[in-house]
Structure 1
Amino acid sequence: MMGGGNASESAYRVLMGVLESRTGQTLSPNRIWRIEMSLKPVMQRHGIEDLDALVAALVTSTSRQLLDDTVDAMLNNETFFYREHSVFDDIAVKALDHVRAANAATRRLTIWHCGVSTGQEAYSMAMLLAEQGEKWAGWTAQIVGTDVSYQAISRARVGLYTQFEIQRGLPVQRMVRWFDQTEAGWLAKADLRRRIDFTVQNMLVDRPPLTAPADLIFCRNLLLYFAKPMREKAFARLRAMAAPQSFLVLGAGETVLGQTDQFVASPRLRGLYEPADQQVRRVAA
């Protein structure tokens, strides 16, 4: 038996197949037992009794909403502001200075947050750039956040966060400067929201709406959920979207070693990665 409750093993298998076919993600054994708990609100909302009935409904229903709700509920949307402060500190100075020098002729800066979830990471970069206003005067900056979850992207676009969410990683002075306290929670100011383009997208299938190759790509704690063939495909997609002299930001527990030959560890910035072909050219030069 693969999970708890009274659901049949085939129900779990079908649900895992739905998740992988729609998102490329797989469920690790320690997440399988949480399927039923995660899907309870969906089943209640749609008047479905149990997981077997849910699977039957998914097979027979023409409702896109039921499918979207089911996939959304199985995704892990964990994120918070300025996750790993040391990484943002290095990006704020070293990585962005390198990109600024490389793009001096075009005066364009393009940042892609892949698997952006509810948006905190993209808002963190938007705040960081806004606070470096003079440095980027006259530049065109594009920040794009993409995720397969419709619900997560909807929340990101609104920019409304609970007291718990707003306090996770966000210093008080930034909270007060960039967010308004409302009865519903902390709402990102319009000036901050308009700096980011949030889009529903499957990174394995769709091209992100970038107007130029990405100079900085955040793809943190997303590839952990991909099986190896999907992970290799994901790295190839990330490389295809990356500018020659760009940086890839992965999660603290992730690495490119043994995973891909598309990127290598950056020799100048610990914890960041650069396109492997560009690295070879730089060394050869």
Structure 2
Amino acid sequence: MTDLDFEYLRGYIKQRSGLALTAEKRYLVESRLSPLCRRFGAASLHDLIGKLKTPHDKVLERTVVEAMTTNETFFFRDRLPFDLFRDTILPEALARNAGRRKLRIWCAAASTGQEPYSIAMLLQEAGARLSGWQVDILATDISLDVLEKARLGIYSQFEVQRGLPVQWLLKHFTQTGDQWQISPSLRAMVEYRPFNLLHGFEALGQFDVIFCRNVLIYFDAPTKSDILTRFGTSLAPGGALLLGAAETVIGLTDKLIPDAKHRGVYGHAPARPPALRAAVG
């Protein structure tokens, strides 16, 4: 792959997914895209990129972008955000929405489903507290392949051993050979939908809780700023956005501020008085 080929791919991936590939990621591009050459009848990466430059094959275009996405995830990843959701965020959301008894949760970049299913397990454990409530979990990802795996809810022994308490494995999964499938009731709690974070959020509506963890680290600052600002618009009043430990809204948007008590949790910035807005403007 020539330098020009790599620069073309960097721009191509950035425009379609927001992923910012630095020069140090060249080896990663080559290792992930080389296997696609045989599949799409290209003699080399140079030839594969040539096919991209003649946009006729939508499957190739989607496959190249999906090959560059990172789908690292596991059940109850980093644990603390899920404890915060169970002990603080969920009770506050239930109190806030007691009148309409409706709760909406969005897992952005949900990958193969471990995050939304972790949330679904916590909600199911809440039991009677959610009786009579409509609870919607929307899980989105740019990759159709990972969404299909998520819908099936089938995981290897290695995958269920990462973060999932053994008692919950036995309670919520059925074993078939060396694989485990999550229960139909939990699968029914999650709606999976393909979605690109570079696109507008308006059609998705508003959410009481948004999980977007360990995703923004792959974007450049302008892209992070744009996405976070739109998250601020999609977050219902009093709602909570949960980011990864290495991610923040500070210096990127004025729509959201860190929660004073809980690391990794963000909410709406207080509205400025009209007089102050006029003075600043």
Same topology, TM > 0.5: yes
Identity level (%): 38
CA distance change for structure 1 residues 206 and 153 in 2, over 3 Å: closer, same or farther? farther
Shift in Å at residue 28 of structure 1? 3.3
Question: Aligned partner of 1:204: which letter?
Answer: L
CA distance change for structure 1 residues 128 and 242 in 2, over 3 Å: closer, same or farther? same
Contact 1:26 1:225 in 2 (8 A): yes
Question: Aligned partner of 1:46: which letter?
Answer: F
Matches within 5 A, 1:57-76: 57-76=51-70
Matches within 5 A, 1:240-251: 240-251=233-244
Q: What is the TM-score with the length of structure 2 in the denominator?
A: 0.92
1:129 aligns with 2:123: yes
- Name the structure 2 match of 1:218: 211
Contact 1:220 1:250 in 2 (8 A): yes
The 2-side partners of 1:139 and 1:208 are apart by 24
Shift in Å at residue 205 of structure 1? 0.8
The one-character-per-residue Cα deviations of 1:212-257 (angstroms, maximum 9, x if unpaired) are 5211101111111111111111011111111010111000111122
Secondary structure in structure 2 of the residue aligned to 1:33 = helix
- Name the structure 2 match of 1:89: 83
Shift in Å at residue 183 of structure 1? 3.4
Contact 2:116 2:190 in 1 (8 A): yes
Question: Aligned partner of 2:227: which letter?
Answer: A
Deviating more after overlay: 96-105 vs 32-41: 32-41
- Name the structure 2 match of 1:144: 138
1:39 aligns with 2:33: yes
CA distance change for structure 1 residues 208 and 70 in 2, over 3 Å: closer, same or farther? farther
- Name the structure 2 match of 1:4: none
1:118 aligns with 2:112: yes
- Name the structure 2 match of 1:198: 192
Shift in Å at residue 139 of structure 1? 0.5
The 2-side partners of 1:270 and 1:235 are apart by 17
Select 1:53's aligned residue among 44, 47, 56.
47
Shift in Å at residue 184 of structure 1? 6.3
Contact 1:265 1:274 in 2 (8 A): yes
Question: Aligned partner of 2:5: which letter?
Answer: A
- Name the structure 2 match of 1:231: 224
Question: Aligned partner of 2:246: which letter?
Answer: G
> Unaligned 5+ residue runs, structure 1?
1-6
Question: Aligned partner of 2:15: which letter?
Answer: S
- Name the structure 1 match of 2:166: 172
Contact 2:229 2:254 in 1 (8 A): no
Large movers: runs of 4+ above 4 Å: none
Contact 1:111 1:215 in 2 (8 A): yes
The one-character-per-residue Cα deviations of 1:103-156 (angstroms, maximum 9, x if unpaired) are 111111110011111111001001110111111111000000111111111211
Select 1:185's aligned residue among 171, 179, 184.
179
Number of positions where the alignment pairs a residue of Structure 1 with one of Structure 2: 273
Q: Alignment RMSD, CA only? A: 1.7
The 2-side partners of 1:64 and 1:232 are apart by 29
Q: What is the TM-score with the length of structure 1 in the denominator?
A: 0.90
The 2-side partners of 1:84 and 1:185 are apart by 24
Question: Aligned partner of 1:160: which letter?
Answer: I
Contact 1:263 1:276 in 2 (8 A): yes
Deviating more after overlay: 252-261 vs 63-72: 252-261
